[in-house]
Amino acid sequence: MLAQLERDYPCRFGVPVISRVDPEIFRFRYFRHCLQCQFCSDQCCIYGVDVDVENVARIMKHATALEAYVGRPAGEWFRTRYTPDPEYPGGSSTRTRVRDGACVFLNRRTRGCLLHSFSLSEGIDYHELKPMMSALFPITFSEGTLYPAQEVEEGSLVCAGEGPTLYEGAREELRYYFGSALVGELDRLASATSLPPER
């Protein structure tokens, strides 16, 4: 059963606005340290990721430098079709393209997200370029609710089972996007649902 939060918590970009949470985010566990994983083969990156129109615009401001970094022209990065969605900043979203069996932004030489590593190398907060859905994974949102990503619920997330809870893993990302007040309320819910979150 979904838990109704004490108030609405808008994202720093205005939307989405979170008002409910699925308590399963306090129960499901996974291997949190993604780049230390030796068994997943970057499975969570094989489908690409949803990205809002405002995020696309921020990425395209760095297109010239990113083209050299990614190794593919900017015209190959995103699907051309945008889907209207009021829960995405700017009111619509598209998806990163899949190339050679994985997201175009997957670092195939080492591991991880090229948008994330490019941001760090350029002194940019990675939240500016990395899609929100990637940063929050394996938590996602829809219709004002935080809940486990589809891969968790269907049992296909290969790193599921041991480690911190989904909430513990995404806690600081949730703070960045939705603020400390949401994290405070989620901490209280987590404490009532399971073990206290890691600090």
Rounded to an integer, what distance in angstroms lies between the CA atom of residue 81 and that of residue 162? 38
Return the closest-CA partner of residue 10 out of 89, 93, 90.
Answer: 89
Return the closest-CA partner of residue 164 out of 30, 44, 35.
Answer: 30
Q: Is the peptide bond before 16 cis (omega within 30 degrees of 0)?
A: yes
* Tokens of residue 124, six digits: 């940019």
Q: pLDDT per position in the chain (199 positions), as tens?
A: 999 999 999 999 999 999 999 999 999 998 665 555 455 566 667 889 999 999 999 999 999 999 999 999 999 999 999 999 999 999 999 999 999 999 999 998 887 899 999 999 999 999 999 999 999 999 999 999 999 998 888 876 665 677 899 999 999 999 999 999 999 999 999 999 855 444 4
pTM of the full structure:
0.92
Rounded to an integer, what distance in angstroms lies between the CA atom of residue 40 and that of residue 24? 22
Q: What are phi and psi of 154, to 5 degrees?
A: -90, -5
Rounded to an integer, what distance in angstroms lies between the CA atom of residue 106 and that of residue 111? 7
Contact status, residue 126 vs residue 105, Cβ threshold 8 Å: no
Task: Say what the pLDDT of residue 156 is.
Answer: 60
Amino acid, res. 68:
A
Task: Say what the pLDDT of residue 67 is.
Answer: 98
Whole-angstrom CA distances from 22 to 129, 142, 165 are 27, 11, 13
Rounded to an integer, what distance in angstroms lies between the CA atom of residue 67 and that of residue 74? 6
Task: Say what the pLDDT of residue 163 is.
Answer: 83
* Tokens of residue 16, six digits: 């989405």
DSSP code at position 109: S
Task: Say what the pLDDT of residue 32 is.
Answer: 60
